[in-house]
Amino acid sequence: MKRFIKLFLGIAILLMAMPATMLAKEKAPEVKYVFYMIGDGMGINEVVGTELYNKGTGFGPEEINFLNFPVRGFVTTHSSNALVTDSAAAGTALASGVKTYNNAVGVDADKNPVSVLGEWVAASGKGVGVITSVGVNHATPASFYAHAEDRNDYENIILQYIASEVDFAAGGGILTKRGSGNDAAYFEQKAEDAGVKVYHGKNEWSKMSKSDKRVLCLSGKTEGELPYAINRKADDTTLSDFVSAGISYLESKYAKKGFFMMVEGGRIDNAGHADDGAACFQEVNDFAAAIDVVLAFYEKHPDETLIVVTADHETGGLMLGAGRYEMHPERMKGQQMSTDMLSRLFGETFKKENNPTWDEAKAFFTKHLGLWGEVEVDRRTEQELKAIFDRNYGKTDAAEERVVNMYSSHSLLIQQVVAYLNKTAGYGWSYGSHSGSPVGLYVKGKAAEAFLPARDNTDIAPIIAKVAGYSN
């Protein structure tokens, strides 16, 4: 008996002397707040190109905030059936950790549904937010709550959102199938009937409260996407507005349990498809401004917050230093609007029946782009542009030549003029489509070091689930 008592006391003393980490492997504290920031089409060159643009024009910060995050790397983006992914397959990989075919949302390569982050978070009893600058049922946001064999099955996807457990959603509008007879208002009413409170514009959602069971915030307009930052008016909704509203709502309801928020800068991709450098770079700035809102939240909760920034793919095959060993981003300072808006304005200004002249067209480009003003145009280029002008606008019966990309259509003349401005500034676009280039991964906050091994887009979601304690 005495030997037993001595042994017990010896063990007790030994245990008291041992560090707590040696007594038992305690579960590491879970990340409470997760922000998953996805720049659609935002390749590494789009980010670096934006910094150069900002330094040359003064239109944004000289340093992009997430480039300073302590954990930085890159991830590959290919889909299961192509070396160049689309947003649906990439979104599914980012939301589930599963590769799938281009066009698929929330299903695997065999078209079987796969569980996704929005579902994992909800199953863990935490709040779910899904925010985008495009349609709430577009490919990337849909990947976090829906399952569809075809990303264009918009009506099925929005019905899945309505039936989901996404607490807060925000976007430019609701996309619908052309010719179906159903408009966005029809699905908004469906959402209201299901207990989702729908708000339009900042003035409306200022009335939002935690008593709202679920919330859908839309811009004050119904075009399905937010205006380009370069075209923005003072009262337009911004991605930052959505993020601020989402944080306010989710924090009020999930202060104890925490929440997850996916934020997509969707219009970076749109500008890349249009080969529109100025519009693209200002969209990256707008995306970084939304991250500033997140960083302000992080400063209040530094030990509980994780911020992951990445992209689904690169769009446009952007080159830095196109055609020469120099760059002049300051030459883009004169561009005042996106290519598609510029095209519309040019068409309204230069009606064929008014017999517009080339000198009038040059004055237009000086005013809105800085060409033939701050930026010189060489003789050969001017001849080429004038030839297009003469073909398209010199005769009343001439058909306007147009360039059609995935999300917009504009005149050939405007496309060529903007392409010259980009080139003379040192930015070259390979084509108005996606590329297979890897994209950046930038991480800050709680458990950031867990992402150091990540090399593919399928690596990210499982790591988020592990460090945040989600039920995947």
pLDDT tens, position by position, 171-215 = 999 999 887 888 999 999 999 999 999 999 888 988 898 899 999
Weakest-pLDDT range from 96-100, 259-263, 273-277, 318-322: 318-322
The Cβ of residue 253 has, within 10 Å, a number of other Cβ atoms equal to 18
Cα separation, 171 vs 440, in Å, equals 24
What is the chain's mean pLDDT, rounded?
A: 92
Nearest to 267 by CA among 224, 320, 218, 233: 224
Percent of the chain having pLDDT more than 70? 93
Say if pTM beats, i.e. exceeds, 0.75: yes
Domains located in the chain, CATH noted: 33-319+439-468 (3.40.720.10), 334-426 (no CATH)
184 close to 169: Cβ distance less than 8 angstroms: no
User: Which pLDDT band holds residue 446 (cuts at 50, 70, 90)?
Assistant: very high
Over residues 24-32, the mean pLDDT reads 62
More confident residue, 222 or 438: 438
The Cβ of residue 419 has, within 10 Å, a number of other Cβ atoms equal to 18
18 pLDDT exceeds 70? Answer: no
pLDDT tens, position by position, 97-152 = 999 999 999 999 999 999 999 999 999 999 999 999 999 999 999 999 999 999 99
The Cβ of residue 334 has, within 10 Å, a number of other Cβ atoms equal to 19
Over residues 349-353, the mean pLDDT reads 81
> Phi/psi at 251 (nearest 5 deg)?
-65, -35
42 pLDDT exceeds 50? Answer: yes
What's the pLDDT score for residue 407? 85
Cα separation, 43 vs 51, in Å, equals 13
What's the pLDDT score for residue 222? 55
22 pLDDT exceeds 50? Answer: no
Cα separation, 147 vs 394, in Å, equals 51
Weakest-pLDDT range from 62-66, 337-341, 400-404, 413-417: 400-404
